[in-house]
């Protein structure tokens, strides 16, 4: 039985038997890891705090060779991210980001840049409007998974550069106006929205969030990238449904 010590972010938890937890966390070097924490409810709030959702901590776990459910023995908190759990929008968006990472990654398949992306998004969520962070996060997560849409030329005829045109959700690529009849469901994309989408796919999250855009452009980019993501997933995640259900509450009066 191998012993590992690694920093990680908690993606989700679920009760196990009377006093234990099954914890799924994401690490920079080992990828997604699932494990059991025994007796956590018997040892008080200090012990439980290391396994709260969104917590960034250093974990020690014993790797079982014949199972992907390992034994977690200890947690040393690096950052609790309690501010995310104190607000409805923080819980909703952070949970959505965690479910996306959990859904798109395989157990113990390392993605250091996804770990950094998730950690960075947790830092920004309490201080920047979450919908802006969501669009950048989703775009860059797709990039790291190799799902990023092709944005450099027309998929059908190869024409470039394309400064405006149509976005094929089915193919995840741009098509020009002349080729639009080949995919009548393709969504129109303006030159401004296309420029933002290209920037989000290449620049660091901090740089993307530093530049502001009109609400119209942000909404268009978000619609394109979210529609494409949902198409690739083939379903609507539970946290996405929850976000949509509380949209009016989050916007306020």
Q: What is the pTM (predicted TM-score) of this model?
A: 0.93
- In this prediction, residues 198-208 reach a mean pLDDT of 95
pLDDT of residue 17: 79
Torsion of CA 88, 93, 97, 103, to 10 degrees: 70
Q: Please provide the average confidence, as pLDDT, over all residues in the chain.
A: 91
Where residue 1 falls among pLDDT bands split at 50, 70, 90? low
Residue 253 included in any domain? no
Give the closest residue to 74 by CA, choosing from 86, 91, 57. 57
- Please tell me the total count of domains within the chain: 2
Burial class (CB in 10 A: 0-12, 13-18, 19+), 106: exposed
Where residue 253 falls among pLDDT bands split at 50, 70, 90? very low
Where residue 233 falls among pLDDT bands split at 50, 70, 90? very high
% of the chain with per-residue pLDDT over 70: 96
Lowest mean pLDDT among 45-49, 76-80, 108-112, 248-252: 45-49
Say which CATH number the domain at 158 has: 1.20.1440
For residues 115 and 70, state if they share a domain: no
Query: What are the structure tokens assigned to 178, written together?
Result: 């002349």
| 71-77 LR contacts (CB < 8 Å, sep 24+) | 71/35, 71/36, 71/38, 72/23, 72/35, 72/36, 72/37, 74/50, 75/50, 75/51, 76/50, 77/49, 77/50
For residues 160 and 209, state if they share a domain: yes
What's the domain range around 52? Answer: 2-80
């Amino acid at each position: 039985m191998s012993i590992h010590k690694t920093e990680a972010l908690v993606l989700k938890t679920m009760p196990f038997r009377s006093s234990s937890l099954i914890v799924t966390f994401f690490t920079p070097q080992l990828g997604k890891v699932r494990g059991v924490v025994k007796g956590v409810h018997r040892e008080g709030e200090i012990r439980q705090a290391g396994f709260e959702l969104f917590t960034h901590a250093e974990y020690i776990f014993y790797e079982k060779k014949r199972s992907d459910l390992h034994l977690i023995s200890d947690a040393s908190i690096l950052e609790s991210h309690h501010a995310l759990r104190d607000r409805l929008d923080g819980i909703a968006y952070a949970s959505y980001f965690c479910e996306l990472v959990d859904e798109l990654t395989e157990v113990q398949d390392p993605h250091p840049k996804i770990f950094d992306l998730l950690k960075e998004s947790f830092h920004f969520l309490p201080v920047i409007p979450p919908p802006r962070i969501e669009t950048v996060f989703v775009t860059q997560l797709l990039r790291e998974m190799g799902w990023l849409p092709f944005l450099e030329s027309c998929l059908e005829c190869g024409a470039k550069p394309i400064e405006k045109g149509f976005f094929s959700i089915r193919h995840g690529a741009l098509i020009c106006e002349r080729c639009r009849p080949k995919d009548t469901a393709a969504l129109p994309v303006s030159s401004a929205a296309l420029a933002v989408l290209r920037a989000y796919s290449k620049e660091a999250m901090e740089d993307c969030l530093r530049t502001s855009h009109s609400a119209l452009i942000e909404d268009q980019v978000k619609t394109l990238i979210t529609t494409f993501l949902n198409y690739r997933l083939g379903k609507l995640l539970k946290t996405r449904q929850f976000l949509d259900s509380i949209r009016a509450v989050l916007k306020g009066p």
